[in-house]
Structure 1
Amino acid sequence: MDIVESVSKRTFSGSSGTYNVQALELAAARERNKLKGFNVIVHFLDETVQEFTVDKRSKGSFIMEQVYQHLELVEKDYFGLQYSDNGCVPNVNKPELMRWLDPSKLIKKQLNNCQYPLYFRVKFYVSDPSKLQEEYTRYQFCLQIRRDILEGRLVLAPSTAILLASYTVQAELGDYQPEEHGNNYLSNLQLIPGQSEDMERKIAELHKLHKGQSPAEAEFNFLDHAKRIDMYGMELHKARDNTNREIQLGVTHIGLVVCQNNLKINTFSWSKIMKISFKRKQFFIQLIRELSEDYDTLLGFNMESYRSSKTLWKACVEHHTFFRLDSPKVKRKFLFSLGSKFTYSGRTEFQTVSDVKKRGKLERKFVRSPSKQLIKQPGQAPSVEEKGKVLSAPGRPPRPYDNKVTSLGAKEPRKAWADDSQMSDDDGGFLERTLEAPFSPGIAGRVLSYVDEEVPSPTSNGLYDTPPYSASHSPTSQITDEGLVTITLYPDDGKYGFNVKGGANPEEPILVSRVAPNTPADKCTPRLSEGDQVLQINGIDVSHALHEDVVNLIHKARGTNDGKLVLIVKPNVLYVGMEEFEEPPYQYVPAGDMQQRPPSPENALEQSMLLLADGLASGALIARYEMLYRKHPDLTCDVSMEAKNINKNRYRDISPYDTTRVILKNAPSGDYINANYVNMKINGTDTTNQYIATQGPLQSTSEDFWQMVLEEDCNLIVMLTTIVERGRAKCHKYWPNQGECLTMQNVIIKCVQEITDPSESFIFRDFILTDVKNDTEREIKHMQYVAWPDHGVPDSPAQFLSFTEKVREARKGDAAPVVVHCSAGIGRTGVLVLMETALCLIEAQEPVYPLEIVKTMREQRAMMIQNASQYRFVCESVHIAYLQTIDDTQEAKLFR
């Protein structure tokens, strides 16, 4: 007993020790089990599958970064990982079943501890592919859109599907090679739903026309056309409106889109929405109150379930943050509010674009994945039904000499065919320019054929010469009941200038398929547009007519004495509902603060700038511009076409209106000069900026030009062209060299100074004009913009704004008109007039509506701002100028 007691005391005394091996082993095992990773399978857009190992305590950002590193993806914020609650593949008809992996939450909680696969997808569809700097990013976008088309998510016209498929073939197979590709080289490839042999034939024909396009260029063209599709980038959520009508709601970079039967019927842009909310199965949007309203508009939609309602709400939050905010870190003031606190935690598009520009483009090589193959029995042609299915099959081995490419670096892929941005404003709208069919990029000399066009004679040069307008033969239009439009056309040179399609059967409508520039169909008010449905021709109902009968009716009309053609058309649905992007001012709630009240109704300038930004983002601004008449239908240009004056015009189709033309009083050669007065009233002020818009002088009209400067008391000349561009004369050098004199019958011009701006973009000259008869002298400032590229727009809006400000400074305190000219005196000239007008309006805190400014200019000189690229550029410059004004104002407040 004494021994036991002795042992016990020693055992439990302070001098002894124990080590619990079993307890520590169990604890270590539990810890290892807790830290043990698990595998996640990710399906990529090129049909490859990759397995990643992640920690159980990892957040979604961990696996997302692994995926981005695996792809070497730089512009990663447009993409995300999707999964479903039950592990099924993405379902087009059930978007509420799909989830986007949240980077801020634990992976295991989101996947519910299940080994569900993840799907790499485009989450935010870019509004313009030119924003994507990396070739590899554009390739991933192409893969996603091709998948959207095959899965029926992106609904599009067969002709568009065929065009996009042809670019896919060019990117994958390279140039068409007859000896290699043969007749049925597309029969095994799954390119579009419902693929038929006729479709494959059309795809092959278009593929031949893409010769010379690299894979990167073909993919850029693919995206450039895809972005214009109504359903582009939309995941549709089933809903019902307040009349219990079945509709679909989709979210895009523009805002919330309402669709019915896969057709867009309405759009609520972000600038019109004040608040977005949901409660159970109901989804609500509160619209910003218009200036004319004293009530708020709340629209409610009934969703299929609470889950679908919340999914749509989350999509709205994420898209608004990504596309509209500079940073997602916005303070929310409703700290004690109930409901979801969900916010978007990733980077915005602004941050992504800025970051990529800073780091530069990544030079890399990659192999493009081939399209899926159709599975069929040997020797058996696939049926149409089989071709409509998406079937998996082993891919074709890649052809490294076609598909493995090096990034183009700084070179931007060229467009599929030359658009109006490739036409100089000096070309007069037709000179040395061929018209190409929509599916014929890069084919020189291919002239567009029209339904009313005769076969050209062998001696014809193929150029369209715009005849002068007269009161009796101006194309006119009239709005009729039920949204229909009556358009009256008279042929010019035997042509109306449009083509039609459809009418294969009595149920297929007749639609306008093409409209030629500077033809009667193009110069209507509103313009006859592609997609307009023709309902009547000269009083005959053609709503159920066959194509051949319609063509015969048009030919018959042309054969009459005056060729009068009266059309009743239903305007293209593409432009229905675009009014929300234009002139009426709407209030706006600053992004991220849903409780803040709208700005004061008086701030119309801010509202006009929001509408301008929305119109640029959506393309509505350009669409409305292209519908505007180029020449006013009721104004004549008869004096310019008189025999004695024809040779005074630089271009045959650029003529001054009779009502606003400058009339010379004492010119040796007569009273005619190709110039118009253009006066721009600045609302809210007593100021009217006066201009004389004129063509670049010819050698034979230089004396007339200086006579005009003398008689109009002008002190400032703005020149927006160089003497020669791309080997073509654009303007005669109508002034002497520095220190020399130019002597004419009534005036003497001496150049006393010539200074080139340090950027070598501008040249400033000082002239002394001497009136010979009165022996008086006057100083003339001459400002020349030499960096404006031919067939394009200035490289830098900042540089252009700087020049415009210098023009404003030079004209201060001078009531005399400013002479502005380029070569034709309409394109670049119109851009400068609009820009200066907008800057004056911004300074006066007045709203700026560029389309109204263009209309005002074109009522005084035809075709001012000649093409859409010029109009887009000046609208973007106006918006940048406004933002700079805001920044300057805020900075000034800080230093008070």
Structure 2
Amino acid sequence: MCCLIRDMIESFSRRVFSGSSGTYNVHALELAAAKVRKLKGLDLTVHFLDDTEHVFHVEKRSKGSALLDLVHQHLELVEKDYFGLQYPENKAGPKAECMVWLDPSKTLKKQLSNCQTNLYFKVKFYVSDPSKLQQEYTRYQFYLQIKKDILEEKLIVAPSTAILLASYIVQSEIGDYCSEDHDGNYLSNLQLIPGQTLELEKKISELHKLHKGKSPADAEFHFLDHAKRIDMYGVDLHNALSEDYDTVLVFNMEAYRSAKTLWKTCVEHHTFFRLHSPKVKKKFPISLGSKFYYSGRTEFQTVSDIQQKGKVEHKFVRSPSRQLIKHITPAPSLEEKGKSFMAPARPSRPYDNKVTSLGSKEPRKAWGADSQISDDDGGFLDKPLDVPFSPGKILSYADDDIPSPTSNGLYDTPPYSASHSPISQIIEDGSVTITLFPDDEGKYGFNVKGGTSKDVPILVMKVAPNTPADNCSPRLSEGDQILQINGKDMSNVTYEEAVKLIQEARTTNGGKLVLQVKPNVLYSGLEEYEEPPYQYVPIGDAQTVQSGNPLEQSMLLLADGLASGALVARYETLYRKHPDMTCDESLKPKNVNKNRYRDISPYDSTRVVLKNGTNGDYINANYVNMKINGTEMVNKYIATQGPLQSTTEDFWQMILEEKCTLIVMLTTLVERGRAKCHKYWPSVGECLTMQNVTVKCIKEETDLTGSFVYRDFVVTDTAIKEDREIKHIQYMVWPDHGVPSSPAQFLQFTEKVRDARRDDAPVVVHCSAGIGRTGVLVLMETAMCLIENGEPVYPLEIVKTMREQRAMMIQNASQYRFVCESVHAAYLKNIVPQKEEEVPEST
């Protein structure tokens, strides 16, 4: 190589200087030197997440940071610290088992061999919440990465979640569903999920229809917001063997290089996510152990820097999903059969493939109370779908008024008014003073949380796009600590006091609101406190709020939460399964087939244990006991799945052993062609005989509307020849998707259940999975009892109590909103009269 270069220079020099009279061609010589330098450099191909690639020329002795800078400039990437470049250490391509991150602090010569010319741009640090990403383009890169992880099955996703995520991909790339343009196979040419079938495409299409009105940016945000909840999201896997020595767990890596790679990954992730700044290297004469340090910026530094700079969005082109198969329309000619071709271009929309203002147009609700959502398919919709916060969808803020009766529960965020410009001033101690004026609708556009007690800080929770709070420089961001509001110190105030100060500012001094804020997105002490439940502060009749009637106050708060949407937003933050409770018994091989759905399992600590079961002691059922505050009353339930044919005998054995007298059924046997429950009872006049019990149906009646069916059974314990009468009430018209059309009929049904209660025996309640509709009924009856006794009703606390006894009770936001509306209706219409206090007789 050296000889070749030398010969080139000598040859070129002879041509340049021959025949000259003491002059030489400077430009030609510089070109020759440039060619020589180019030979010493590297041409590296970087493959990007949108399946494009670009060749970068760098000096071989340059550090990795030089190549990274060129990549960031090429992409115009601002929030660059989340990303990195990977290359295969064993030169086996992008799917090699050992992929290594390019080290910015080391030279390319030490890291790349002559044959390693391909690198892959990837997400290195997976953000815990997409709302921390300030730039739409950054969120788009994350969206591409996760979509690629799912397709390559690096991220294993439950089918229900995969279907939901795919529906957001379709909305982002195709736009709103149109029956005229989108036939039954309009998704067949898009590669959306692994193992894609026509049946899965139909489910994806059904969800796609519900996303109408969402822009690509909205759909991608929802995609990320659901993806962050996947169990293996952001997990970097390394092959290892384990050895267990008493209390010590040892990981054996395949080779020294593998161990070093794992160690470096751990150091980088710990520093990036958990520290404010990287550790400073300390030089010692003798050093032991690894010398590796993470030299980049931490997440805290990245977010703080972007806040200070503000948003600078740029236009970019979104890439389509990979093509799978030939599109069926238009039909190909005979000559073209067997050839695949791209789907026909769709008409452009105003917001396709470019950044748009997220706050100027309100998208329609995809998951409102009237949406068609399956409730008991055992996790068909893996996560609640009513996302509490996303660009363009703002549910509630600390300064919101109650919407008008015609409002749909969302708030428009009009373009920022220049007449109410925010002013910010940097203070020497790192805090920022921001002066805000409300917009034309009287809103500042942010919400707060914290203040559980006097020592818990008040933090910014949400910021609406294109509002005064969003247009500050630096802008307010989630996690910022509010130190002062209009000069009042916030270090020892509660949530209610903070909200009251914000609301009062709108009516004084021209709406001027002065905030002293400490930009601190990753507040280090926050994890020590549990965020309190939402405490809704209604605006209006202060005398009523201070009247001292706890029930009346709780109903005011309930109405305010329903109107603003904050009630559902808080519900979304609840855990679905208690993190400290196990479901090990349901996973045993002998019990797996007794579960109707794989992801619906009873807690071990509260499960019903059969004493004399013919097939063992397991049944998918939990005790759920609901204490009525202010009384000695405890409503006892057994929440269970709809029996399978193979578990019918277990179900009746449970009825026998628990001395139950009432069964409440909230489903039909078949809904939309799918079996929801086995017919576990005999027809009128017939008898069902099992090993330990016989069941005879002696009566069956349907009400005039066809909504309810009442049955009477006689259950006989064959061992002791003892009979017991059992009431059976079935709700026949609960829609397969969504909730009842109005609370009135549901309240009537709940009253029937209350009237049928006898003794102290638990009421057996089941739907299909035993969590969705079952939870709605339990909450409703609990609330009725509380209203009857003049006690306040806090639905969120009731849900938490239920989920401490059976996972996922009240399965989705649609059900939760409906039951809250039913509770409020029951109170307003005096369906449950309050008991009068007993006056002691005078002596």
TM-score range, shorter chain: 0.3 to 0.5
TM-score between the two structures when normalised by the length of structure 1: 0.42
TM-score between the two structures when normalised by the length of structure 2: 0.44
